[in-house]
Structure 1
């Protein structure tokens, strides 16, 4: 008489599915919460680390379950496949971030004027944020090599019109002012302080926009510094170049074309 043993259901497969699903739900929840300021950035970064750990655990359980399925014929192929796929989907952004970290220079404070960067507003910064330091010669060289388009602008327009163009672009991009917008009357050198956030993760960065009238032209310089993280993964340079490109268009629209006679 032949005895057919009943196949067992792999517990590891079930834990893989649970860990993978929980990591995916936790990632979406914390991303939305941080985007809408329901989760503070330090806690957000810690949760991102926990999410990566959960996804790694889900893959580990999936590996154990697959070994049991292959060697002993255990059931649970659907659960281990679901857990592994969810974990891999969760880990994709981490892989992209790791690639960017290896590709972009290790910088977190970018300015169009390296010799005299615009002063950032430190009144809203806390001790757990990145320290603001003057760029070293090595960091200056890295920025110049990596971001040649990060340069200031010079406009032959009245000071008040350039400042108004800066305000228009600032409002359009939704950056939060950390100090009242300066008045143009009687001024020739003002700095606009704002808080910007990265597109995907919503990580905050301090921004200073300096508008100076040197007598011949009005010069606009920008500085953007990440509040958290060792590297900005190109975020600050992209923020500056995008803002200045939009400012160029706004100023060009104000100048207009002279009518032909």
Structure 2
């Protein structure tokens, strides 16, 4: 009789843990999305959900063994196990999709003279995770050797106009777009949680004045590693600028 009670309790616990994991994560990211809690605090809900899911897997496996030995309904146990496995699988796929990227959150095409923000502010702890500018440059050059300045056969003013148009198409909040100085700034929101990353673009004329040298920088406002998000943004945006010049 006692064994039967433990089997039922474990089965119920497996179901609660399995379903509770994604619920905890969803509540956390939703609160962060609407700035009821901080972005990192909300993101921690995803990690808390992962721990709950792992516990759910362990409890579920034990409960399933007991059910198979002692008898009873498997539906609740299997549902809990399925929910936990799906959640853990989802998280695993997200980590795998980021690839082997360096733990950076500040990405630029010019490591020697990165474009500077004027309207927006660079985060005070921008060296978090790298400690020194030299470390940042080393990790950046090794992790993203392909991210470099580009030259586009268009005048500076046209480059800034194109950048503003592309940013609006991506629903970025434009903070500055000055065709005279070749300076552009905007803020992009990332994922459901709406992490905010700041972008600055600089365009200067070539010596012959027939083209423009374009540099870009994308910086996450919080966190240490961006899982490659800023690098993908820089590549995508610059590719779009080049495409518009054809």
TM-score (norm 1): 0.78
**Does residue 175 in structure 1 map to residue 169 in structure 2?**
no
Q: Which residue pairs with 2:63 in the alignment?
A: 65
Question: Secondary structure of the residue that 2:116 maps to in structure 1?
Answer: coil
Alignment deviations for residues 52-92 of structure 1 (CA, whole Å, 9 cap, x no partner): 22212222321331242244x14242111111110111122
In the alignment, which of 207, 215, 221 is matched to residue 221 of structure 1?
215
In the alignment, which of 87, 99, 106 is matched to residue 90 of structure 1?
87
Q: Which residue pairs with 1:50 in the alignment?
A: 48
In the alignment, which of 108, 112, 116 is matched to residue 113 of structure 2?
116
Decide whether the 8 Å contact of 2:32 with 2:41 is kept in 1: no
CA 130–16 in structure 1, closer or farther in 2 if over 3 Å, else same: farther
Cα RMSD after superposing both structures: 3.1
Cα distance in structure 2, aligned partners of 1:46 and 1:7: 36
Shift of 1:5: 11
Question: Secondary structure of the residue that 2:177 maps to in structure 1?
Answer: coil
Q: Which residue pairs with 1:248 in the alignment?
A: 242
Structure 1 or 2, whichever has the larger Rg, is 1
**Does residue 160 in structure 1 map to residue 157 in structure 2?**
yes
Q: Which residue pairs with 2:229 in the alignment?
A: 235
Unaligned runs of 5+ in 1: 253-261
CA 251–30 in structure 1, closer or farther in 2 if over 3 Å, else same: farther
TM-score (norm 2): 0.82
Alignment deviations for residues 80-126 of structure 1 (CA, whole Å, 9 cap, x no partner): 11111101111223323444577212222110001101113585577
CA 130–40 in structure 1, closer or farther in 2 if over 3 Å, else same: same
CA 153–53 in structure 1, closer or farther in 2 if over 3 Å, else same: same
Alignment deviations for residues 122-177 of structure 1 (CA, whole Å, 9 cap, x no partner): 855776x6547897445434433433331222223222212111111111111112
CA 59–180 in structure 1, closer or farther in 2 if over 3 Å, else same: same
CA 19–122 in structure 1, closer or farther in 2 if over 3 Å, else same: farther
Shift of 1:49: 2.3
Q: Which residue pairs with 2:186 in the alignment?
A: 194
